[in-house]
Every structure is written in structure tokens, then in C-alpha cells.
Chains A and B, each alone.
Chain A
Amino acid sequence: MGSLEVDIAGLKMKNPVTTASGTYGSGKEYSDLIDINRLGAICVKTVTLKPMSGNPPPRLWETPSGMLNSIGLQNDGVEAFIDNDLPFLSKQDIPVIVSIAGTSIDDFSRLAKMLSAQSDIDALELNISCPNAKVGGMIFGSDEKLAAEVVSKTKMASTKPLIVKLTPNTGDISAIARACERAGADGLSLINTVYGMSVEVDTLKPRLGSIVGGLSGPAIKPIAVRMVWEVAKVVNIPIIGMGGILTAEDALEFIIAGASGVAVGTANFIDPQAPIKIIDGMNKFLEKHGVSSIQDLVGALKIDS
């Protein structure tokens, strides 16, 4: 049997599958339904320095092959995370990735410092790509200079590997990716949701309380695969690909395009078994094609010249 093991930004993962931040709570929510320890890693909901109440409802709208959300980073703040959620995660024996966001560079540094002191956290994911937070969020992720600055300052404050999560809502994602790499990022994850909107015509009202939101699910997969492919060509750090992954075949598309790992988001809502089915499906694929390691498939895209 082929090996699914990967090493992403220093994280030793027994398979390339992790969860997409914000779709998996702190993991506890799903632990009745799946064996969390089968995952390659777990990435939890973005935490901020202070509690955030999030955006006004309605926050969800289902769209063809996808969904819009405007959660707005609702969370109880980093201290509550450490007290209430981390103990559960500590008991799991898979790497834990904690996603962080802030409204200023100082926020990111302080979060990185506080979380670096926690031995049960294995990596930090810098969320500079949330389309739903009024301040910060995507602003950092759509400007090369700002992105580089937040990454290098956070890197200085952190002793954990730093993965930077990129937004598709920018002109040149490759330029941002390169800026993050130069500033010291250990890995990249992409993509966050695609900025979107829907209108209820009978009432002339927006479907979401905050008018605009982020599109996720199968509808965005081709965009995500293309961005992973573009970014993989210009950086040397590993990439975690995500956006609409429902099946092993979807996951393999990302890997072949250049991702070393994949994250499962919206698919968890559809079928909590999705990550397990993806892992099993990858195993079958390796076997069927006689591939000895999933790593041999990373960036293996064949282009006829």
C-alpha cells in the first residue's frame, strides 16, 4: 500500500487531509460522528484576541453547488479558546492548526505569542483572507506590502510554523503568495471563500444580513484548483489546497495541481464522513495506480508540450 504521509511546514501528517477553518468548530462538534484521529491534522475556527460577536443574521444562503456565508469571525476570543477548546484538542493525537485573525498587525503578533506558549498547538494559520470581517481580514491579504509586513511580524512573535491563508479576492494571488514566502511563511493555504452576493427579488432585499458574503463549495473548485496551480509554480513552500473538495478525486485534483495537503470545508456539512472517505479514496488511488507515495503526485500535472 502506498504512503499518504506528508510533511507540511514541519507538520508530520499521516495523510494530507485537514479541515478548513471555520467549518469544523473546534473539532468537538463532529467528534460524535467521526473519528477525528483519522485526520491528517485539524484546523480550528479562526480566533481573535478579543471576543467577536459576528455579523447579523441571516448568515447563510444556499446557491447552486455552493453556499454563501457571512459569519464574520464570531468567536469567544483567544483566552476562551485556550480554556475551553484546547483541552479537547490536546487529547487528540493529530497535529492542531490554530487559525488567527486580527484587526492590526499588533493583534497578530500578540495572538502568535500567546498561542506559541501552548505546547499542544502545532502550527498557526494566519487568516488574512476573511471576506466577512469589516476591519483587517482580507485587507492584509490583498496588498503585497501589508501581507509581507503582517507575516514577518507574526513570524517574529511565533515559535510555531506559520501557514498563511490567502484570499482569491485579489488581482494577483501569485504576487501575494511570493510576498508571504519572502516574509517567512512556512506554508500557504488557499483559497478562502470567494466574495459574493445574492438578492431576494420579491422583497428587493439582500439574502445575507451583511449584504455580501463568501462563496464556498463545489461551485468554487475550478477557481481554487487554478489558483493552487498558479501559486505552486512560483513558491517553494508547501500549499494546502481547498475550495469545494467533496471527494478523493477532488482532493487529488488539488494535489496534482501542486498542493501538498488539502482541507475539507463545506463538504463536512453535506457529509461528516467526507474527510474519511477522501482518505480512503486516496489510498485506493495509490494502490490502483501503483504509486508508492502521495508525495509523488504533488504537482505531477502533465502538460503536453
Chain B
Amino acid sequence: MHQITARVVENKEITRDIFRLTLFAPAVARESKPGQFVHLQCGVNQSYILRRPFSVHQTVGVDAFDVLIRVVGDGTKWLAARRPKDSVNLIGPLGRGFTIGAELKRALIVAGGMGVAPLVFLALKLAEEKVKVYTVMGAASKDQLLDFMDLKRLTRKIAVSTDDGSQGHKGLVTDILGKEIEEADPDVVFACGPLAMLRAVAGISRRYSTSCQMSLEARMACGVGACLGCTVGAKDNYLKVCSDGPVFDTQELGW
């Protein structure tokens, strides 16, 4: 874990209101694992004060990494306005990422909307480990299917759903997930996306007796496990999303 004032290498609007921000931070690029996140200070000002968490999207070379940012409020607006040579103070890499078991042979990735952010990095690692990867991906519409080409390249099969039917199945990822699980027969499902989707993915995976890891979101203050503000209810206690997660096995959560 490091605190670094990182120089902006590039900040590119890849589709409307979604930016890919590349930061120069060798230690973070070197140490990050898929599913971990960075806690970004979005300027110093009087109106909002807390850092904002973002998944490490990919490492860029050996010295930099990027994050995918959807502009939803003041903090993300500030990040979207960064230009090369500006700097961003960050803490990272943080949290527990996805666990890739030594005996893992087949994996299914489920990406919903911005939830795709940590999953290309994961697919890359899985490919390195010679795991057979399948992907199910959903978004509002075709132009919101981020990283589609990268995921397509890294996986044996990619199934798509869009809310408006502009690509693939018209509807939700969870409509087509069961069929894809049957086809891919994965040892594990890795998922990231909106909470409702994750809940449904947990249920479907359970029905197929497939183990399932998912990356959760929670509002955070410290990001390092000190404040106990980001908890999620597990079976009989509360777990910290920032340091026990953000990736959890659904069994730990009792989902």
C-alpha cells in the first residue's frame, strides 16, 4: 500500500461520460492484482472531502495503470477534467482482489455496466494462467459495452445482452447466464456490476453449484480498514468491503 501523488499520463473520453485515466505510479502498477482498487483524492476543496474508490482497470507498461471512470458527480467530474501533467493523489493498491485457485481450469466472467472495470485485468491474468475463460457481458446499449474487443480477444466465447437490444440479447445478463454456465461449465464465476445483478448472479451460480466471487461497492471513508464504515452484512457479522473485499466469495456473504 502506497500513497503517491501520481502524474496523469493520459485522460481519454472513450464514450460519452466515461473516461480512461492513466496514472504514472510504478509501485502501484507493479503490485496491483485484479480486483484491487485505488482511493483517489479528487482535488482539495471545501465542498466534498472524501476520496473516491476506483478499480484498477489495467496496468499500462510497467510504470503506469489506468482506471475507467463514469462521471456521476463532483468527484468524477473533477477526475474527468484532469489533463496530462496534472497530478492525482492516490492510495493503493487496496483490498483483496479475485482469488485464482491453482487448480482453476475454466472460469466464467460476468460484467454488468461499469462492472467491467476490473474484469479485463482479471481475464488477462486468467489467460496467463492458462485458464479457459468465457464471458457474459451486459450494458444499457451497444456503445456502453466497454472493453468489448479486449474481452472478446481474451475469452473463448462472449455472450452479450443490452437493455435496448442494440447488441445481443435484449434484456439482462442474468437472462442468459444460466445457459452460458451450462455451456461453459465453469469452476468459478467472477462477477462485477450493479448490486441487483450481483444478487441474481449469486442465486444462479448457487443453482448450478458453481462457486462465485464478486466485487462489491460500498461508500468508503478510509479505504484501508480503519473506520468500519464500508461494511456489508455477511452471515453473522459485518465484513469490510475495503479490506476484507472488495471481492468476496458468495459463501462468505451467505448469498
Contact = CB atoms under 8 A, between A and B. Distances in A.
Interface residues of B, number: 31
Contacts of A66: 49
A268 interface: yes
A29 B229 contact: no
Contacts of A24: 226
Interface in A171-223: 217-218
A273 B49 CA distance: 15
Given A60-B219, A74-B238, A272-B91, A23 B3 contact: no
Interface stretch (B40-48, B54-62, B108-116, B167-175): B40-48
A22 B221 CA distance: 12
B77 to A, nearest CB: 15
A56 interface: yes
B233 A269 contact: no
A23 B91 CA distance: 17
A23 B225 CA distance: 10
Nearest to B225: A29
A257 B219 CA distance: 34
A271 B89 contact: yes
Given A29-B226, A218-B46, A54 B231 contact: yes
A268 B48 CA distance: 15
A218 B49 contact: yes
B237 interface: yes
Contacts of A29: 222, 224-226, 243
B238 A268 contact: no
A270 B46 CA distance: 12
Interface of A: 22-25, 29-30, 32-33, 45, 53-54, 56-62, 64-67, 69, 71, 74, 217-218, 266, 268-273
28 contacts: A22-B228, A23-B222, A23-B226, A25-B222, A25-B226, A29-B224, A29-B225, A29-B243, A32-B2, A54-B228, A54-B231, A57-B233, A57-B238, A59-B228, A60-B219, A61-B219, A64-B48, A67-B49, A67-B221, A69-B221, A71-B227, A71-B228, A71-B229, A74-B228, A269-B223, A270-B51, A271-B41, A272-B3
Given A25-B224, A59-B230, A269-B227, 12 more contacts: A23-B222, A25-B225, A30-B224, A33-B91, A54-B238, A57-B232, A58-B219, A65-B49, A67-B50, A74-B238, A269-B222, A270-B50
